[in-house]
Amino acid sequence: MNSEEFIDLRSDTVTLPTDEMLEAIRYAKLGDDVFEEDPTVKKLEEMAAEKMGKDAALLVTSGTQANLVSLLSNTKRGDSVILEAESHIYYYEVGGLSFVAGLLPILVRGKNGYMDPVDIETVLRPKDIHYPETTLICIENTHNRAGGTIIRPEQIKSLYDFAKTHGLKLYMDGARIFNAAVALKTDVKNFTKYVDNLMFCLSKGLSCPIGSIIVGNHDFIERARKFRKMLGGGMRQAGIIAAPGIIALEKMIDRLEEDHRNARLLAEALSKIDGIAIDLSTVQTNIVMFDVSGLGISAYRFVELLKNKKILCLPFSDAKVRMVTHRGIERTHIEKTIVAVEELAKLAHKKGAHIEIE
């Protein structure tokens, strides 16, 4: 990113593949993955399963497809599933859990994304002819709408123990699970050993151009393979997707720590700006959420004005803004962003909502 380009803090989905990834795509050994004959895909899936401590893995096109395939593979139509009230599956996946999978969501309000088993107990319906059968609990780690917060291994274990007591499965939307592992400086297996199955994204902080991975036991992955095909996700020479994924798992995980440092730098500076409110305890990984209502302008107006300064971010509500650090965002970009927000805050205090876009 050069000085003439935008500083893009909208999401870690805007990351671009490294030169090494592009070269790997060019020279990848290919085959037909529907026939399970693509050697590069098979290598990536074996690596992913080993890294997550599970039996098998499956490459899919996206995180949304991964979650939908996993819901289908863990349940049957007419079941109910327990979800955190602000979860990505519930908020941002076009209602696929109901429209496609035929599932009824039961929502539980968590704290920083974590659902306490005590609260789940209150919504868990008994077996009754009038009720759908509850078969699955879904968690999200890190939790997007909570601000990239981490559900810690001991918390996952408490949910796993609860699930097993009640004959339920536990699934993890682990789109950013490596951010959690890097932040806590622990092996990712310490998170995954307490879930039946999970997914993680290659195309966010790990910088791949496309793709997510589902992992679990062999029976689960075979069901998932069938549902992937049903949803149009059966790919042919998919090694061109898998090749950068291999590099991501080998070389891109540890560098997530840089994103976390940049997010902390940004958050601490924002917390000192009059009119901006931020809960620093929620800035645990690479997502920074803050309230701009104290500036007298909406989050939508704030984002519009910041875009004029060549900085991109997203409104999260009428009052809140989200910024996400990732590969391609360096300390100098964070420093420029801080200066721009400081200037914008000063103007807002003087002119309020009447700030003109120059």
The mean per-residue pLDDT over the stretch 324-351 comes to 94
pLDDT of residue 355: 61
pLDDT at 36 over 80: yes
pLDDT at 357 over 70: no
pLDDT at 10 over 90: yes
Which domains are seen in the chain, by residue range?
A: 15-251 (3.40.640.10), 255-352 (3.90.1150.10)
pLDDT at 1 over 60: no
pLDDT of residue 18: 97
Helix axes 63-74, 218-230, angle to 10 degrees: 120
- Which helix (H) or strand (E) segment holds residue 244: the answer is helix 239-247
313-336 confidence digits (pLDDT tens): 999 999 999 999 999 999 999 999
State the pLDDT confidence band at 356, using cuts at 50, 70 and 90.
Answer: low
192-223 confidence digits (pLDDT tens): 999 999 999 999 999 999 999 999 999 999 99
The mean per-residue pLDDT over the stretch 101-123 comes to 98
Rounded mean pLDDT of the chain?
Answer: 96
pLDDT at 264 over 70: yes
Polymer length of the chain: 358
Q: By C-alpha distance, which of 129, 131, 143, 128 is closest to 106? A: 131
pLDDT of residue 3: 43
Q: pTM (2 decimals)?
A: 0.95
Q: How far is CA 325 from CA 50, 265, 271, in A?
A: 28, 11, 17
38-83 confidence digits (pLDDT tens): 999 999 999 999 999 999 999 999 999 999 999 999 999 999 999 9
Q: How far is CA 247 from CA 173, 302, 313, in A?
A: 22, 38, 28
pLDDT of residue 354: 58
Distance of CA 26 to the CA centre of its chain: 28
Q: By the 8 A CB rule, do 148 and 94 touch?
A: no
Share of the chain above pLDDT 90, in %: 96
Report d(CA 262, CA 242) in Å as an integer: 29
